[in-house]
Structure 1
Amino acid sequence: MSSTWTEQDIPDQAGRVAVVTGANSGLGFETARMLAEHGARVVLAVRDVEKGKQAAARITGDVAVQALDLTSLASIRSAAADLRAAHPRIDLLINNAGVMYTPKQTTADGFELQLGTNHLGHFALTGLLLDRLLPVPGSRVVTVSSTGHRIRAAIHFDDLQWERSYDRAAAYGQAKLANLMFTYELQRRLAPHGTTIATAAHPGVSRTDLARNAPTALRVPLTWLAPLFQPAEMGALPTLRAATDPGVVGGQYYGPGGRREIRGYPRLVTSSPASHDQATQQRLWAVSEELTGVTFPVA
Structure 2
Amino acid sequence: MTDFSVRDLPDLTGRRAIVTGATGGIGQATARALAGAGARVVLAVRNRGKGDAVAAAAPGAVEVRELDLSDLESVRKFAAGWRGDVDLLINNAGVSAPTLQRTAQGFEADFGVNHLGHFALTLLLLEHLTGRVVIVSSQAERLAQLDFDDLNWERRPYRKSRAYNDSKLANLLFAAELHRRLAAAGSAVAVHAAHPGLVATGIYHHSGPRRMSDVLNGFVVRTLAQDAEHGALPTLYAAVADLPSGSFAGPSRLAHMRGAPELINRSKAARDPESAGRLWRASERLVSIPARI
Say whether the 8 Å CA contact 2:204–2:218 is kept in structure 1. no
CA displacement at 1:31 relative to structure 2: 0.2
Q: Give the Cα separation in 2 of the matches to 1:243 and 1:213.
A: 30
CA displacement at 1:213 relative to structure 2: 3.3
Cα displacement string for residues 244-287 of structure 1 (whole angstroms, at most 9, x for unaligned residues) = 11x11210000000021010000000110100111111010000
Cα displacement string for residues 39-70 of structure 1 (whole angstroms, at most 9, x for unaligned residues) = 00000000000000011111011000010000
Which of 89, 95, 98 does residue 93 from structure 1 map onto?
89
**Which residue in 2 is equivalent to 1:205?**
198
Q: For residue 172 of structure 1, what is the amino acid of its counterpart?
A: Y
**Which residue in 2 is equivalent to 1:290?**
285
Q: Give the Cα separation in 2 of the matches to 1:17 and 1:267.
A: 25
Q: For residue 288 of structure 1, what is the amino acid of its counterpart?
A: S
CA displacement at 1:296 relative to structure 2: 2.4
The two structures have a TM-score, normalised by structure 1, of 0.93
Q: Give the Cα separation in 2 of the matches to 1:286 and 1:237.
A: 32
State the superposition RMSD in angstroms: 1.3
Unaligned runs of 5+ in 1: none
Say whether the 8 Å CA contact 2:114–2:171 is kept in structure 1. yes
CA displacement at 1:217 relative to structure 2: 2.4
Q: For residue 235 of structure 1, what is the amino acid of its counterpart?
A: G
Matched residue SS, 1:45: strand
Which of 234, 239, 263 does residue 235 from structure 2 map onto?
239
Alignment of 1:107-146 (within 5 A): 107-133=103-129, 136=130, 139-146=131-138
CA displacement at 1:221 relative to structure 2: 2.6
Cα displacement string for residues 198-231 of structure 1 (whole angstroms, at most 9, x for unaligned residues) = 1000110011111123953233233333142111
2:169 pairs with 1:169: no
Matched residue SS, 2:3: coil
Say whether the 8 Å CA contact 1:127–1:296 is kept in structure 2. yes
Q: Give the Cα separation in 1 of the matches to 2:98 and 2:91.
A: 19
Matched residue SS, 1:267: strand
Cα displacement string for residues 123-162 of structure 1 (whole angstroms, at most 9, x for unaligned residues) = 00000001101xx3xx0010000111011x1221111111
Matched residue SS, 1:91: strand
Q: Give the Cα separation in 1 of the matches to 2:116 and 2:15.
A: 26
2:179 pairs with 1:187: yes
The two structures have a TM-score, normalised by structure 2, of 0.95
Say whether the 8 Å CA contact 2:21–2:93 is kept in structure 1. yes
Which of 257, 260, 263 does residue 262 from structure 1 map onto?
257
Q: For residue 47 of structure 1, what is the amino acid of its counterpart?
A: R
Q: Give the Cα separation in 1 of the matches to 2:45 and 2:97.
A: 20
2:15 pairs with 1:23: no
Q: Give the Cα separation in 1 of the matches to 2:137 and 2:55.
A: 24
Say whether the 8 Å CA contact 1:101–1:211 is kept in structure 2. no
Q: For residue 237 of structure 1, what is the amino acid of its counterpart?
A: L
Q: Give the Cα separation in 1 of the matches to 2:233 and 2:14.
A: 21
Unaligned runs of 5+ in 2: none
